[in-house]
């Protein structure tokens, strides 16, 4: 069984020119994931459920686990010495590490520390999503906002942790996607899903149909298409929606499917945030052979305008995203 650290060292050996700093950073992400996982596994027995009090920049009630995950990933990233600043769903502005090793870190880190917060209370899978860029600002100076507003194509690594029936770390550094399952008996993430490829076609569509009346006409027509009876194309498809992006995406990544969060009345630009939800998930999707768009262009080509910018999100099996686009282009 290959552990995460062995895998990182083996990959590192394939790139002798690399300094090893991304490898060290990935190791620290694994450590933070184990700490958060330990807490989540006891949620309900320790004071980690419910609201922390306060509203975050998204206007959401902050959950205790949002804060716990944010604090522990921030601490692990600072300890790694490889990251000079972070952007998080839970922080209004970027947090720069201005002293010690971290000040000269070569990377900036974007994260959704706890994705699917509404599911914590009811014991449904949640996750952590992360995205890593090389800093653009001069070393020795505090990181700049512009370090975080790079298009998703510039990501050097991205992935997610899913705290589910088992805890998995899934990530890419641009050479495919690999999945590691935590073996709690030895406290190690072990390679369980090498070289994940997502099926070109799938039979699962994931969307919150509660927002149907506010969907763009193209989305309404695509949903109708998914529900029509046509055995030759495997329709009607199956509707699956968990309400945690990481969980819905991970299931579709492995089985094939499409996840859509379009514009709605309450979220006229979509709900999901570009730099710490859509871009990292899009990078993983594309590296696994899938695609991700805002309904028109590749998510990874969007130039972020702000840390918490929201965009419509269509992600998953290539053929399904293309079919959804056909309906968006036909119906306005
Ligand atoms: P977060 O918990 O990090 O704020 O993200 C929640 C997101 C995402 O995980 C999920 O796909 C989506 O919100 C669900 O939104 P609806 O409840 O509006 O369907
Ligand atoms: Mn989220
Ligand atoms: Mn979150
Ligand atoms: Mn949130």
Domain count, the chain: 2
**Residue 95 pLDDT class (50, 70, 90 cuts):** very high
Q: How many angstroms separate the CA atoms of 111 and 83, rounded? A: 12
**Residue 104 pLDDT class (50, 70, 90 cuts):** confident
Binding residue per annotation — 116? yes
Looking from the CA of residue 267, the nearest atom of ligand 1 is 18
Considering only 19-23, 48-52, 111-115, 153-157, which range has the smallest mean pLDDT?
Answer: 48-52
pLDDT at 103: 76
14-28 pLDDT, tens digit each: 877 777 888 889 999
Q: How many angstroms separate the CA atoms of 324 and 332, rounded? A: 13
**Residue 42 pLDDT class (50, 70, 90 cuts):** confident
Give the contacts of 284 (CB within 8 A, at least 6 positions apart). 158, 159, 160, 170, 171, 172, 177, 249, 253
Domain that holds residue 279: 204-331
108 with 141, same domain: the answer is: yes
60 with 174, same domain: the answer is: yes
Q: What is the CATH number for 276?
A: 3.40.190.80
190 with 70, same domain: the answer is: yes
Ligand 1 pocket test, candidate residues 40, 64, 244, most atoms within 8 A of CB: 244
Q: How many angstroms separate the CA atoms of 21 and 18, rounded? A: 8
pLDDT at 126: 95
Binding residue per annotation — 118? yes
pLDDT at 190: 97
64 with 118, same domain: the answer is: yes
Among 196, 216, 247, where does a domain finish?
196
3-state secondary structure of 44: coil
Cβ–ligand 1 distance for 319 under 6 Å, the answer no
258 with 221, same domain: the answer is: yes
pLDDT at 254: 98
Mean pLDDT confidence for 8-16: 85
233 with 296, same domain: the answer is: yes
Pairing of β 258-261 and β 313-316:
antiparallel
Cβ–ligand 1 distance for 244 under 6 Å, the answer yes
209 with 290, same domain: the answer is: yes
pLDDT at 329: 97
Among 166, 196, 226, where does a domain finish?
196
165 with 236, same domain: the answer is: no
Among 164, 196, 228, where does a domain finish?
196
How close is the Cα of 66 to the center of ligand 3, in Å? 6
Residue identifier of the C-alpha nearest atom 15 of ligand 1: 243
36 with 151, same domain: the answer is: yes
pTM of the model: 0.96
Cβ–ligand 1 distance for 115 under 6 Å, the answer yes
pLDDT at 225: 98
Indicate if the pLDDT at residue 48 is higher than 80. Answer: no
Binding residue per annotation — 183? no
108 with 28, same domain: the answer is: yes
Cβ–ligand 1 distance for 178 under 6 Å, the answer no
233 with 275, same domain: the answer is: yes
Q: What is the CATH number for 126?
A: 3.30.540.10
Side by side, which strands form the sheet with 177-183? 95-96, 83-88, 107-115, 126-134, 157-163, 167-172, 177-183, 188-193
136 with 216, same domain: the answer is: no
């Amino acid at each position: 069984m290959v552990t995460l650290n062995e895998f990182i060292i083996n990959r590192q050996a394939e790139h002798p020119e690399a300094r090893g700093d991304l490898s060290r950073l990935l190791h620290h992400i694994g450590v933070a994931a184990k700490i958060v996982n330990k807490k989540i596994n006891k949620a309900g027995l320790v004071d980690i459920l419910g609201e922390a009090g306060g509203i975050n920049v998204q206007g959401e009630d902050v959950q205790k686990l949002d804060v716990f995950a944010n604090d522990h990933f921030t601490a692990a990233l600072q300890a790694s010495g490889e990251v000079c600043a972070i952007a998080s769903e839970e922080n209004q502005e970027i947090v720069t590490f201005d002293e010690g090793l971290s000040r000269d870190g070569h990377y900036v880190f974007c994260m959704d520390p706890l994705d699917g917060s509404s599911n914590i209370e009811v014991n449904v899978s949640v996750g952590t999503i992360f995205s890593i860029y090389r800093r653009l600002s001069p070393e020795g100076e505090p990181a700049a906002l512009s370090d975080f507003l790079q298009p998703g194509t510039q990501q050097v690594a991205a992935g997610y942790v899913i705290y589910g029936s088992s805890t998995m770390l899934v990530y890419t550094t641009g050479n495919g996607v690999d999945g590691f399952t935590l073996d709690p008996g030895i406290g190690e993430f072990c390679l369980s899903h090498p070289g994940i490829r997502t099926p070109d076609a799938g039979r699962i569509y994931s969307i919150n149909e509660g927002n149907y009346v506010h969907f763009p006409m193209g989305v309404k027509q695509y949903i109708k298409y998914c529900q029509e009876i046509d055995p030759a194309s495997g329709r009607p498809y199956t509707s699956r929606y968990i309400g945690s992006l990481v969980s819905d995406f991970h299931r579709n990544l492995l089985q094939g499917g499409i996840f859509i969060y379009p514009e709605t009345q309450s979220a006229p630009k979509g709900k999901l945030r570009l730099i710490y939800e859509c871009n990292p998930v899009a990078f993983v999707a594309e590296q696994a052979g899938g695609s991700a768009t805002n309904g028109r262009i590749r998510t990874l080509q969007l130039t972020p305008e702000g840390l918490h910018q929201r965009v419509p999100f269509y992600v998953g099996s290539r053929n399904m995203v293309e079919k959804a686009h056909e309906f968006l282009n036909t119906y306005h």
